[in-house]
Amino acid sequence: MKKHLSTLLVVVLCLALTACGSKKDSPASVAQKWCDLNAKAYKAADGSAREAAEATRKKFEKDMEQKYDKAFMKEVETEVEKCEDASEGR
């Protein structure tokens, strides 16, 4: 139980720090945040931690799709392709 709370706390802290940033995001920075979240989801050992990490990643995806236009998101997809395999340990 304590492990689950600490994992959730880390995820919430990461999101809070991301939300507090005042600089404008670049496609590379958004892609790197996604790859970091993907790595956490991929490396999570048990089901509940993995589900929490995947939910956080999906929320991040949804937030970014609402925040940015399609052209920007296309650039993000290009950047994600560069780091996706590494985030999954390939």
What pLDDT, on a 0 to 100 scale, did the predictor assign at position 9? Answer: 54
pLDDT for the residue 86: 72
The domain of 53 spans 2-15+25-87
| Cα separation, 39 vs 14, whole angstroms | 14
Domain assignment present for 59: yes
Residue 65 in domain = yes
Whole-model pTM: value is: 0.67
- Please give the tally of structural domains in the chain: 1
20 is a domain residue: no
Per-residue pLDDT of 28-68, as tens digits, reads 999 999 999 988 888 877 788 888 999 999 999 999 999 99
Handedness of CA 39, 42, 45, 49 (dihedral sign): positive
Q: 10 lies in a domain?
A: yes
Residue 54 carries which side chain, given as an amino acid letter?
Answer: E
Contact 4, 49 (CB under 8 A): yes
